Amino acid sequence: MARLSWTSGTFESRRARRRQTVRLLRARGLYGPRFRDVLPTLALVVAAVCSLVALLSWGYRAAGIAVPLAGAMVTGCAVTLWVRRRRPGARRRLGYYTPDELLELDTEGLALAVARMLRRDGWRVRLMPAPDRPRVCARNTDGRHLDVAFRPVAEPLPDEDPPHPPTRRGKPDEEGLRLVVHRGTFAARDMRWARREGKTCLLDGSALRRWGAGEPLGELLSEEV
């Protein structure tokens, strides 16, 4: 009969504690994905690499060493560009923000984020920073003007004059559109004020997060209308 070592109980106890810890971490989403979760993505990566190698080999047999060299250079540039675009700083400069990043911004930071998102959508933007009430003026290729304000309440405060965009020469349909951005939820009186004012749109926190994720502003405003 085999004799068990005195360390067997300790080893089994450690394994049980480790399994319990892993189960708790997985339940909280902190342990990371399992192999079966990443298997489809891994299979796609392997298939893509094999296809690329086969294509370069075919090009080498057909046209010589120039094809593999050109393919390697193009692939390297594409990977480098993809990595740079995935960096948080580069991603934000391109006008893409996560919900947590939008939540952490102050008013001036939110104005800068909106300016970047407008540029991402093809607008020409002019940012007018201010400690308490920054503003953003933008114009698209169709000649449409946009005046963006940032405040938790759309209706003007007692000490604030309503923001009237400057008078511009042009057709009546080229008058400016006012956009009020708020990371929270607008009250019913804010919505009544916007309808009463006319050519005033409200962008709440839900729409702002979708905009930061890449959805065009035009689609968000068309939903409101």
User: Of 27-31, 53-57, 109-113, where does the model show the most confidence?
Assistant: 109-113
The more confidently predicted of residues 172 and 150 is 150
C-alpha dist (Å) from residue 108 to 111, 117, 129? 5, 14, 7
| Mean pLDDT calculated for residue range 148-153 | 78
Tokens standing for 139? Answer: 């114009």
Phi-psi region of 29 (alpha: psi -120 to 50; beta: other; left: phi over 0): left
Q: Is the pLDDT of residue 170 over 50?
A: no
pLDDT number for residue 80: 67
Neighbours of 95 (CB within 10 A): 18
Residue 180 to residue 205: CA distance in whole angstroms: 11
Whole-number percent of the chain with pLDDT over 90:
18
pTM of the model: 0.58
pLDDT above 80: residue 82: no
Q: For residue 146, with 0-12 CB atoms within 10 Å meaning exposed, 13-18 middle and 19 or more buried, which class applies?
A: buried
- The model's pLDDT over 95-115, given as tens digits with 9 standing for 90+, comes to 899 999 998 888 888 999 999
